[in-house]
């Protein structure tokens, strides 16, 4: 069952939409202002977001920009809700890259059709490649790695190194192989670069640092099993 986040300050509209979502088998989640909506979007990871443009505090355009900036919500489809008169807002919303928009007043039936069509489109074209290994998950489109679902603050090189080790989980990767695959170096003359990056990566892995083992005489390996 898909969760749909509704960010709408007019409670009667939000409640009506929630009712129809529920009838159609969706799980509605309501937020009545932008800040709350944004926080819920990041924690609940909804399948789709209905975003009203006119919101108290943080308006819909700003919420949308923040959604697109965060790897957790970067690809979540958004349908904007706009008042008929706000042509400028509607244009702005679509220019920002919203998946669709619905003008108020709308029929809940029409809205549901739009939601289903956007979800279907999104499913068919989801370009995300997700690799998981042990506690790590890689979102290759966003170049973001998560450990236990918390984003890791890695540089591109650290990301590539960790991803390579995870792709070859529990296997010793030799130094030449690592330098060639991650840095594109053809000889082992840059061995210290590798060691420096591994050292920094271990610090960033925190409680998972011990998984990145030194394989004597070979290089490194990453343990993916339970700790």
Interface with Ca ion in residues 56-115 (CB under 5 A): none
Binding range to Ca ion, per CB under 5 A, among 47-55, 70-78, 130-138, 195-203: 47-55
Q: Toward Ca ion, which CB reaches closer, 52 or 99?
A: 52
Pick 54 or 142: Cβ nearer Ca ion: 54
CB of 52 to Ca ion, least distance (A): 4
Query: Any contact of residue 24 with Ca ion (CB under 5 A)?
Result: no
Task: Name the residue nearer to Ca ion (CB basis): 9 or 167.
Answer: 9
Q: Count of residues for the chain? A: 227
Least Cβ distance, residue 13 to Ca ion (angstroms): 8
Closest by Cα among 91, 104, 92, 86 to 62:
92
Whole-angstrom Cα distance, residue 56 to residue 34? Answer: 7
CA dihedral 130, 132, 72, 201 (to 10 degrees): -120
2, 3, 9, 116: residue in contact with Ca ion (rule CB under 5 A):
9
Using CB under 5 A, which of the segments 50-58, 59-67, 174-182, 195-203 binds Ca ion?
A: 50-58
Strands, DSSP E only, in the chain? 3-7, 27-31, 48-52, 78-83, 100-104, 130-133, 136-139, 144-147, 150-151, 173-174, 212-215, 219-222
C-alpha to C-alpha distance for 225 and 222, rounded to whole angstroms: 9
Closer to Ca ion at the Cβ: 29 or 161?
A: 29
Place of tokens 């809205």: 111
Cβ closest to Ca ion, residue 52 vs residue 89: 52
Q: Which stretch binds Ca ion (CB under 5 A): 49-57, 101-109, 117-125, 200-208?
A: 49-57
Is there binding between residue 52 and Ca ion (CB under 5 A)?
yes
SS (H, E, C) 164-193: HHHHCCCCCEEHHHHHHHHHCCCCHHHHHH
Least distance to Ca ion, CB of residue 8, Å = 6
Q: At closest approach, how far in Å is the CB of 113 from Ca ion?
A: 22
| Contact between 54 and Ca ion per CB under 5 A | yes
Parallel/antiparallel/unpaired status of strands 136-139 and 130-133: antiparallel
* Dihedral pair phi/psi, residue 141, rounded to 5°: -70, -35
Provide the binding-site residues for Ca ion, judged by CB under 5 A.
Answer: 9, 52, 54
């Amino acid at each position: 069952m898909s969760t749909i986040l509704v960010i709408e300050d007019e409670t009667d509209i939000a409640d009506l939409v929630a009712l129809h979502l529920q009838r159609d088998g969706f799980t509605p989640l309501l937020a009545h202002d932008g800040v709350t909506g944004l926080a819920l979007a990041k924690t609940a990871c909804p399948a789709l977001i209905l975003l009203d443009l006119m919101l108290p505090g943080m308006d819909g355009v700003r919420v949308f920009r923040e959604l697109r900036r965060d790897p957790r919500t970067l690809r979540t489809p958004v349908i904007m809700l706009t008042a008929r008169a706000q042509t400028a807002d509607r244009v702005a919303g679509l220019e920002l890259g919203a998946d669709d928009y619905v003008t108020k007043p709308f029929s809940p039936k029409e809205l549901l059709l739009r939601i289903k069509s956007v979800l279907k489109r999104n499913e068919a074209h989801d370009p995300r490649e997700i690799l998981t290994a042990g506690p790590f998950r890689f979102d290759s489109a966003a170049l973001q790695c998560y450990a236990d679902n918390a984003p890791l603050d890695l540089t591109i090189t650290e990301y590539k190194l960790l991803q390579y080790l995870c792709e070859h989980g529990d296997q010793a990767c030799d130094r030449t192989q690592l330098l060639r695959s991650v840095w594109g170096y053809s000889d082992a003359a840059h061995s210290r670069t590798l060691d420096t990056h591994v050292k920094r990566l271990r610090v960033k892995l925190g409680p998972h640092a011990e998984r990145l083992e030194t394989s004597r005489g070979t290089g490194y390996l990453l343990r993916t099993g339970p700790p």
